[in-house]
Amino acid sequence: MTFNRKNKTRKKSTGFRLTPLVQVIGGIGLLITLYIGYRASISDRRLFSVSLVALFAGLLFESIRVSNSWKTVAGIFAGSYLCSLMAFLPGKSEQVYNFENHIEMWPYFFIIFFALIFGIAYKDRVTAKLTEGVTLLLSLSLVYWTIDYGFTNYHNWLVYTLLAIALALTIFSTINALTDIHLSRTTRLTLSIWSTVILFAFAIDNIIMVFNNPDIESTYLYDGLYIGLQFFLLGVSAVYIMQNYMLLAAFIPSKNGNYLNDLKENNKVHIDRFSDEQVFTGHSILCILYTGTFYGLNYQYEILPRHTMIWLVLFTFPMFLRLFDVVVLGRKYYR
């Protein structure tokens, strides 16, 4: 009995306790935070904007909704916060260190790390499921985006090449949505990658347009609410933007990785997330009519900014389709 007690005591004493290390790191982080707050309070520049609060509120809202766990989000918050302190490291080409400039960059580091860590932790939940109908909706939206942006007015071989590729893939997605062509693995891979490229292009355009808005503090209440809503929705979509980025970045060879294995794994992710079920032809026709009507009117009368109209159509068409099925058809149709 004495021998067993000694063994139990010895086993307990050999463990490595993380609590002191966490406390030290937390203490250092707190001190840095206090110093950042002090420097921001005495600065002549406005280093933080309410817009970023709205952006992070959207990111936090969506992360809690997806994970359904405050504890998990709190853990990701703490990890992202510590990682974001790397923003204060001097850059390689930075000759004169300016602490205030690093304070301005700090929130963006935090948001990127948060979206990245959360996207990895909940990869299966934030990877959007795709169908022929979704790809058709995205392709038609890209046609409007291309025309409204004025890409057709550029006259050089690079633009012509990109437009030709986009047109070919749009036609390919339209044919698949209107017919019963078998959705092979190659087809699903192509349509999934094409959808990811479109979503990422829209995301970049949306980020640019949102950040071109004036600061909320310098606007009237109505304009401030509208701008705040745009930043909030951008925060909501930040996790999905990061996920789309990772799906595209995986096609770029890494120095230390096995590219063939990585490519095979990434292709499998794209194929698995694309449904092999055919969509109802009537739904595809409705998609063409719906997008043609809203995008055509907006192009003619400039009712809403381009990026706002695109995300509005992407958000409302599925709801319109469900309403149409229930009210007009009385039931859902599948092929």
Give the count of beta carbons closer than 10 Å to the beta carbon of residue 300.
Answer: 8
pTM: 0.81
Helix (H, G, I), strand (E, B) or coil at 130: strand
For residue 13, what pLDDT is reported? Answer: 46
Give the count of beta carbons closer than 10 Å to the beta carbon of residue 206.
Answer: 21
Buried b or exposed e, range 14-38, using 16+ CB within 10 angstroms: eeeeeeeeeeeeeeeeeeeeeebee
Residues 312-329 pLDDT 10s: 899 899 989 988 888 876
**Amino acid occupying residue 281:** T
- Of the chain, the end-to-end C-alpha distance in Å amounts to 72
For residue 92, what pLDDT is reported? Answer: 80
**Cα distance between residue 138 and residue 192, in whole Å:** 11
Nearest to 335 by CA among 279, 276, 285: 279
For residue 313, what pLDDT is reported? Answer: 93
**Residue 274 dihedral angles phi and psi, to the nearest 5°:** -100, 125
Let me know: does 85 contact 29? Beta carbons within 8 Å.
yes
What DSSP assignment string belongs to 189-218? HHHHHHHHHHHHHHHHHHHHHHHTSPPGGG
Q: C-alpha distances in angstroms, 314 versus 138, 260, 318, 319? A: 8, 35, 8, 10
By residue count, the chain amounts to 335
Let me know: does 99 contact 81? Beta carbons within 8 Å.
no
For residue 76, what are the contacts with CB-CB under 8 A and spacing of at least 6? Answer: 63, 114, 117, 118, 121
Token pair for 292: 């043609």
Domain boundaries, the chain: 20-124, 129-329
Angle in degrees, 0-180, between the axes of helices 50-67 and 70-84, rounded to the nearest 10 = 140
For residue 18, what pLDDT is reported? Answer: 58
What DSSP assignment string belongs to 13-47? HTPPP-HHHHHHHHHHHHHHHHHHHHHHHH-SS--
For residue 267, what pLDDT is reported? Answer: 94
Let me know: does 49 contact 215? Beta carbons within 8 Å.
yes
Rounded to 5°, angle at Cα 142 from 126 and 334: 65
Nearest to 185 by CA among 244, 272, 124, 127: 272
Residue segments in the chain with a per-residue pLDDT below the cut of 50: 1, 3, 5-6, 8-15, 333-335
